[in-house]
Amino acid sequence: MSADPFPEDDPFDRIEAVNEGELEILSTPQAADLYHHENHIQITTTSLYDGWVKMEQCHHHLDPVSLLEIVYHPQRIRNIHIISNQNIGSSRVMGPNVELRDIQADARLCLKAESRALHIQDNGRFILRNGPYMRRFLDGYYPMRLTVAIDYPPDALHLHSVRPKPPKQLKHTPKQGKIRWDAWFQGRLYTEFEFTKQEYH
């Protein structure tokens, strides 16, 4: 996703506000009305064979701009459907991308799709990889919040590792097969959740 978050501000002020460095996980929450990307992913038993997972995604507090595109990898996304939008003039799916026009303050977009995000490893492990997540302007990045909620079959998978780790404790309920990752960051962020096959004793 790329857009100008401050279309009416002085350009020198905008450039000063941009993070031009590497990924930084922020320990301090930012303003509540800044961009929040919420991703809910469901790993099914079928996902363990073909890598496709179900995804519901909401974008909260989108930056007020005239045109914005949400871009996905064309080989790793399918069946995109817009569920709802708020304070957006128009929204439409264009192949692997979503185009938004006339975005107003406090805008929100929710969609659902299927993502080929589960990578099946030769050693029998599975890596759920998503990203890059970013809020970009020119060659730098602004702070944003990312929430990733994952449902997985607890009788088939065991969570082995998470990269990167959020600044607060990861919420994980193994018996229910639920994970919640939540953090503020700036830069380009990829998340990886590695699973092993569940073993019985």
| 141 closest CA partner among 11, 14, 7, 10 | 14
Say whether the peptide bond before residue 153 is cis (omega within 30 degrees of 0): no
| 111 closest CA partner among 143, 128, 88 | 88
Query: pLDDT (tens digit, 9 = 90+) per residue, 1-36?
Result: 434 333 344 443 444 444 455 788 998 888 989 999
Query: pLDDT (tens digit, 9 = 90+) per residue, 29-88?
Result: 889 899 999 999 999 999 999 999 999 999 999 989 999 999 999 999 999 999 999 999
DSSP secondary-structure letter at 19?
A: B
The residue-averaged pLDDT of 169-187 equals: 94
Residue 168 has pLDDT above 70, yes or no: yes
**Domain definitions of the chain by residue range:** 25-51+117-197
Q: What predicted TM-score, i.e. pTM, was given to this entire model?
A: 0.86
Residue 135 has pLDDT above 90, yes or no: no
Distance CA 112, CA 135 (A): 20
Sign of CA dihedral 37, 42, 48, 52: negative
The residue-averaged pLDDT of 132-155 equals: 90
pLDDT at position 200: 53
Percent of the chain with pLDDT over 90: 70
